[in-house]
Amino acid sequence: EESRQKSISFAKASLTKLGQFDTSLLNATNASDYHILKNRMESMVWYGETFKSHEWNPSNYNVAGVFGVILNTDYKAKDERLRTIFRRLENVPAYYEAAKATITQPTIPHTELAISQNKGALGLFEKSIAKAVTESSLTDDEKKAFEGRLGETSAAINSYVSFLEGKLAEIKDNGTARDFRIGEELYNKKFPLDIFSGYSAKELYEKALAEKKRVHGEIIKISQQLWPKYFKNEAFPENALVATKKVIDHISVKHVERNKFVDSIRQQIPELEAFVMERGLLEMDPEKPLVVRETPEYQRGFAGASINAPGPYDAKANTYYNVTPLDNYSEEDAESYLREYNHWLLQILNIHEAVPGHYTQLVHSNKSPSLVKAVFYNGAMIEGWAVYTERMMLEEGYGDFEPELWLMYYKWNLRVIINAILDYELHVKGLTEEGALDLMINQGFQEKAEAQGKWRRATLSQVQLTSYFTGYSEIYELREKLKGKAGDKFNLANFHNHFLSFGSSPVPIIGELMSDEYLNNHK
Ligand code: ZN
Ligand code: ZN
């Protein structure tokens, strides 16, 4: 509690100091840093005083993450890292006692999550760290002391797990669990703090509904066009969304072989780079190549592909595109995964993750050196940019306007739109699980397992699921606005390079810094 109060006081004092700046005098880098810091400090106060998830989300408390990073990151000799672990372990029992004293009325899903994650944490201490200690060159005395401390750690975690199991039974029996839906009032405040959007939560929700309608219209048109090609002797079904699903399923069988999954991604990156450069869509830096690699063992949670970018203090390191091979999949699961990431969707995934999506954005971002932005980046801008590039690339002619590619793109894009709708309806309008599954499966063409996983994620988080759609919409609109103003003189590459030069700042802030008024005042 003392530490929490200290953070809140710090944030309030910082806000007072920030209030003394005349922001109109700041240059673009400082002005955007200023807004990011102000938003951060306001968030700290609100989270600590109003949102208070420390009282109802028991999964906030888990020591595995930080110890895992120390164990697995090669920043110093391993024995030294083990000694750091040993020193920090001393505080684990006090940490969990503080957690127990803080939790008042948890929600059911967060309690269940905390139980399973803390049980999972045991393996790190009892297996990975214990094994590392045995294999280390620590002295016998050190090893003995370590063993004792690992025992105390396991006991502390187990005691927290039992506390939560008791709490879970209690809240289930008495019906006193806190609702995992945060409700309209908290949502309306959390949305602008987390996303930093030009829209209100409700405006964004309404925008998503309208966009779903537009995309359904487009996707149905393509299905009607493709239908005779794949189902010559069958009439187009009465329900156009059912027909669309049928076309999607039918063409999804075109995919790479499971043992060529990683290679095919490796081959595709240069093709995307070549397209971007030939069309002059934005600047690419040949000095900062993207390294495609198989995901290292310790990072393999679930299958997939993701960008592993160097941290702000390590900006010269390689950027890796981690791709998990499908080695551990059953024949059936591999097939289902490959159908999802079929021939067309895999290209869209590579645009999103790599070129000109996340990887390209991060290379640009590192050129606007700002520790504030490196540490407090805006998630909606980063995800929004990646989603924006999918549409931009297709609109610029990547894939030669092949209808199948556009069909898959719209299916993928619907997921982003539906995430935003789902999040708002669940937390603000009381959407049920049944309603959510109907939305995702019947209107978003998602598989049942995927939809169930997303439902769970939506009960555990709030607002984050809207970040992709918000950032994407705002970037697209900013571009259209500037295009409308510049008319014939609009240059897409200049827009992209200028937009990316502000680093990972909130889109509305970038929009302001790109406006004529701002540019005229800061010549
Ligand atoms: Zn197949
Ligand atoms: Zn992304």
Pairing outcome for strands 319-323 and 305-308: antiparallel
- The count of residues in the chain is 523
CA of 502 to the centre of ligand 1 (A): 43
Q: Which helix (H) or strand (E) is 36 found in, with range?
A: helix 28-46
pLDDT tens, per residue, the chain with 523 residues? 899 999 999 999 999 999 999 988 888 888 889 999 999 999 999 999 999 999 999 999 999 989 998 998 888 999 999 999 999 999 999 999 999 999 999 999 999 999 999 999 999 999 999 999 999 999 999 999 999 999 999 999 999 999 999 999 999 999 999 999 999 999 999 999 999 999 999 999 999 999 999 999 999 999 999 999 999 999 999 999 999 999 999 999 999 999 999 999 999 999 999 999 999 999 988 777 899 999 877 666 655 788 887 766 776 778 899 998 888 889 998 998 899 899 999 999 999 999 999 999 988 888 877 888 878 889 999 999 999 999 999 999 999 999 999 999 999 999 999 999 999 999 999 999 999 999 999 999 998 888 998 999 999 999 999 999 999 999 999 999 999 999 999 999 999 999 999 889 999 999 988 887 666 766 5
Predicted local distance difference test score (pLDDT) of residue 373: 83
CA of 254 to the centre of ligand 1 (A): 7
With a CB cutoff of 8 Å and minimum separation 6, the contacts of 517 are: none
Predicted local distance difference test score (pLDDT) of residue 491: 95
CA-based radius of gyration for the chain: 25
Nearest in space to 421 (alpha carbons), one of 109, 114, 127, 211:
211
Strands of 290-294's sheet, edge to edge?
A: 290-294, 319-323, 305-308
Taking the CA of 309 as reference, the closest ligand is 2
CA of 447 to the centre of ligand 2 (A): 20
CA of 207 to the centre of ligand 1 (A): 37
CA of 184 to the centre of ligand 1 (A): 45
CA of 307 to the centre of ligand 1 (A): 26
With a CB cutoff of 8 Å and minimum separation 6, the contacts of 20 are: none
CA of 352 to the centre of ligand 2 (A): 6
CA of 345 to the centre of ligand 1 (A): 14
Nearest in space to 93 (alpha carbons), one of 163, 166, 3:
163
> What's 316's DSSP letter?
T
Whether 195 and 470 have beta carbons less than 8 Å apart is answered as: yes
Secondary structure class of 378 (helix, strand, coil):
coil
Predicted local distance difference test score (pLDDT) of residue 269: 94
How many other CB atoms are found less than 10 A from the CB of residue 428? Answer: 21
CA of 307 to the centre of ligand 2 (A): 9
* Both tokens assigned to 384: 């929004």
**CA gap 470, 478 in Å, rounded:** 12
CA of 255 to the centre of ligand 1 (A): 7
CA of 362 to the centre of ligand 2 (A): 12
